[in-house]
Every structure is written in C-alpha cells, then in structure tokens.
Amino acid sequence: MRHRSYNAAMHGKFTGLNYGHEKPFRNWKSGHLETLIGGWLASNPPCLELATLAYNELLSRGDDLKAAMKFADVELEPIPWLDAARHRVRETFPPELIQTEKKGRLGASVYVILRGGYTGHNSWYGAYVGSTKRSVEKRFLEHRTTSRAGRGLIAHGIEPLYSLFDHLNPMPVKRKYLQEWETRLHEALAPVVPKVIGDVVF
C-alpha cells in the first residue's frame, strides 16, 4: 500500500445500485465484478467503495483471488472496515427510526468521506463525517479544493462513501437537528473505523 494524492474529482453514485442493501452486488456474476474492480481501481480518484463492496461480495463466495490481485497490482487495499461500518449504520439507524425521528423541514444531508493518509496501524483509511444544505457532490468538491476543506481533505480526501449515508437522507435543514444526526452518524462509526474526524455537538 502506498499513499498518493488524487484528482479533485468524483464519480457520483453508481446508477441503479442499492447502496443501503446488505449485499449490493449479490446478483452480479463474479467475472463481471472482477472486470469492474480493475476499472474502478484504475480511475483517478479510484472508486474504492465500489471496488471494496464488489470484493467483499466475491470474498463471501470464496471467489476473491483475482480481485485481490487487482488491488495488489495498483498498490491499494480494500477498505478493511467498510462492511463493519455499514452494519453499524444499519443497526444504529433502522428504517423506523429514520422515518419517525426526523424533525422539521427536510432537505439537508449527512455524509461520510473516505480519507487516506493514515498508516497500516490505522488500517490505512479513515472517515470524515459532515453535514450540508448543499448537494453532497458540491460539498465534496469544496472539501477537495477550497479553504472550507475540513482537516486533511485537500490532500487526502478520496470519495464519498454512499453506502454509509445515502439511505439516511434527506435530513432536517434546521441546524441543531442536522448537527444532531451528524453526531449520531459520527458516534455510530467511531467503534469500527480507526480514525473518524468531523464535528460532534454533544
């Protein structure tokens, strides 16, 4: 594994994929996933979330060797804590809670950004948790290119991790309620992600 800086660009969500499902790639053929993993890892920035989700699906089938070699070829690793983090989010935010505990007018978003720049001791990757009244895509580009970047994200921000937040949105636009949900998400991830940064309000 080697660290590098990536283009300040993003790929957006993969059309038609249910990021909130426990196994988003469950119906995909292994050979197709292997091919896609190679393409996702070769892009700049790489689509590490999609590549990791696909790799974890292949791993569950015992069919992961070729995919593991594709990661090795580009000196990257799958996100080691992604499945555990997704489980924590589903456990912390069941559908009934999402539907009943949001207050006021909706239209804002919480989000999680994959952050590089860490060591193997910290599993290479960390997470930045934030909230915004803009689109997540616009806020991500601000993190990568402006003075409103957030800690270390200009150099080390990689991509939004849609599977950790997409199904939670939209969020309340009122600041105190939005910050409450942002803090809940931060605290849900902290036990399983070695490095979680961002603001917490209580």
pLDDT at residue 2 tops 70: no
- Across the range 65-69, mean pLDDT stands at 95
pLDDT in tens, 16-47: 999 999 999 999 999 999 999 999 999 999 99
In contact, 54 and 67? CB cutoff 8 Å: yes
Contacts of 121 (CB under 8 A, 6+ apart): none
Angle 137-133-135 from CA coordinates, rounded to 5°? 20
* Of 124, 200, 194, the residue nearest 158 (C-alpha): 124
Q: How far apart are CA 4 and CA 157, in angstroms?
A: 10
pLDDT digits (tens, 9 = 90+) for 90-129: 999 999 999 899 999 999 999 999 998 887 776 789 999 9
Strand partners, 171: 108
In this predicted structure, what is the pLDDT of residue 147?
A: 67
pLDDT recorded at residue 131: 96
pLDDT tens, 125-163? 999 999 999 999 999 999 888 766 667 788 889 999 999
Whether the predicted pLDDT of 52 surpasses 70? yes
- pLDDT value at residue 83: 97
Q: Residue range 162-190: average pLDDT?
A: 96
Cβ density class 79-115: b for 16+ within 10 Å, e for less: bebbbebbebbbeebeeeeeeeebeeeeebbbbbbbb
Q: Where are the domains of the chain?
A: 1-202
